[in-house]
Structure 1
């Protein structure tokens, strides 16, 4: 379901009703006449839909985390807010950038339209910028020949599945965050697609090495062995970017998570 398009259509319809009534029908009615139902509903819903449309399109948009790919940073069931303008102002519906502000940086948690199906929104961490060489070999991350530092932390217990993953603190471009590896999971990528730019990636038994094309980004989930990401389906084009995640505003299962991510 294309919610932004539905919202835009409702905005146009209610706006036309409000404007036509203001310029024409209202002048034909007497002062004591009651507004017809279609005018009453159109006029009352128009300003509400307008505010929601502007906020959601240009300022901030809510999302729900639907999977475990970003554990332990974000959990399945977290409701988050996404900054829509930090990477530039984009026209709604067509997602075309009209005003450049900032570019994604390594370590950002970014929402984007899934390259294989743009009707779906995905969320991952930005690992590689345009022009970077990203190597993920034997579960160690290297960018432009420099290994990204990690420090071991206590193993992470997955509460839903009752098993442990090795947990590390990773410093990525000055952004410190935690990520998981499963000891028994293979290092190689078992399900790589034939994505655009696949010739820029080399796959082996240890993992993958990719040269990030201009205008694209390499992203990965923090739950490294339980995330299908750029290792499998390729790069995120700049035009697919939605915004930067920055805040958990709700989790029905754990209220202590509210505000725990930024």
Structure 2
């Protein structure tokens, strides 16, 4: 059977290479590398402002990754910006929120990474802490810390032990969005993973950056859920399923 197709959201920023200097669709190469290492086929999803574009894109996928990046605009969760919150990226917020909504509606497995987890919470009506002091070594510092799974969760089935994870964030989940449940915590109580129990497909968010680690288990959970959905869809359509 062919590899499940995993879409990864991207963002548009100014970039310069060779004689070129213009807006570019950007994504750290570690994201598609992790998807491939976990057995998936990575495709990049540049923002598309066309009406209904997110639904069309998600319909062509077996799984979705919402990548890390800039702070979510506080207006999205009814808050005034903290002075330490970064400038908004309204087009990216809109695109990724639409992707998340389409994925949940179409029962396409989704994994939110760092900002992606925060945006998943906001998409479900939750809120964010706009700044955490001394959580991962301070604002702008890449570090690591232990994360302990909540027993019985999807995340705990993928990573059953306390694990050291690479992290780079200064914001975190505050009030959980509708239907979401925490599935891992940091020692200071910060929600480090969340999921949507009872949903027909995997909906998982992690606060850290698995693409910066050699541990593929979180992404492998998404790829396996995507593979299962792809096989089910092919069986429903009458197409040959093939070996797993």
Q: So what's the TM-score if we normalise by structure 2?
A: 0.27
User: When you count strand as a share of all residues, which structure comes out higher?
Assistant: 1
Structure of greater Rg? 1
Q: So what's the TM-score if we normalise by structure 1?
A: 0.25
User: When you count helix as a share of all residues, which structure comes out higher?
Assistant: 2
